[in-house]
Amino acid sequence: MGRTREEKNAMIAELKQSLSESQMAVVIDYKGLSVADITNLRRRLRPTGTVCKVTKNTLMGIAVDGDANWQAMEEFLKGSSAFLLVKEDISGAIKAYQEFQKATKKSELRGAVMEGRALSQNDVKALADLPSKEQLMAQIAGALNAVTAKIAIAINEVPASLARGLQAVADKDKEKNGVAESEAA
């Protein structure tokens, strides 16, 4: 038995809500994937803040219709489609999908939509090469730590170099006094 109009409207509303919370939507062809494979994909995507939705293309088409951010997705709505709705870590989500794809060799990336633009497979792969959010934060923290360490060394170096200069002058005075005393004797 088919779904009622109310059920379909509820599914469309849920899709619209999920899309409004997402930064990017990746469309994949899931033909040949078993329920266990889809579950495995969802498990891999969960830490990146990504949701995998399997829905009819017509329902997704209705959900994106009239929304400038997602309208470009319509060109990918053909065949068996699953939608990876990325909410947080874009590069981490794409990397997780690529690892899944290497392991199963069953699904195919059709494209993605981000900020109203359709992205090709190459564009999506380029996004995967970007560092993850955690890596960027670690790089920034490392850079800040290096700067503060250099400032601390510079601040400590001023009195130390002044002390070495004074010591050199004192040693020179002692040397002069020692030479003068030996000439006097």
Average pLDDT over residues 107-123: 89
Based on the number of CB atoms within 10 Å of its own CB, is 102 exposed (0-12), middle (13-18) or buried (19 or more)?
Answer: exposed
pLDDT over 80 (residue 94):
yes
The predicted pLDDT at position 165 comes to 80
CA distance 162 to 19: 63
Model confidence at 147, in pLDDT bands (50, 70, 90)?
Answer: confident
Find the DSSP H helices in 21-116: 35-45, 57-64, 90-104
Stretch 12-17: mean pLDDT: 91
The Cα 124–Cα 146 span in angstroms is 33
Instruction: Please say if the pLDDT value at position 185 is more than 70.
Output: no
The yes-or-no verdict on residue 3 having pLDDT over 80 is no
Is pTM, for the whole model, over 0.95?
A: no
Percentage of the residues of the chain whose pLDDT score is greater than 70: 94
CATH architecture of 5-130: 2-Layer Sandwich (3.30)
Domain boundaries of the chain, sorted by first residue: 5-130, 131-185
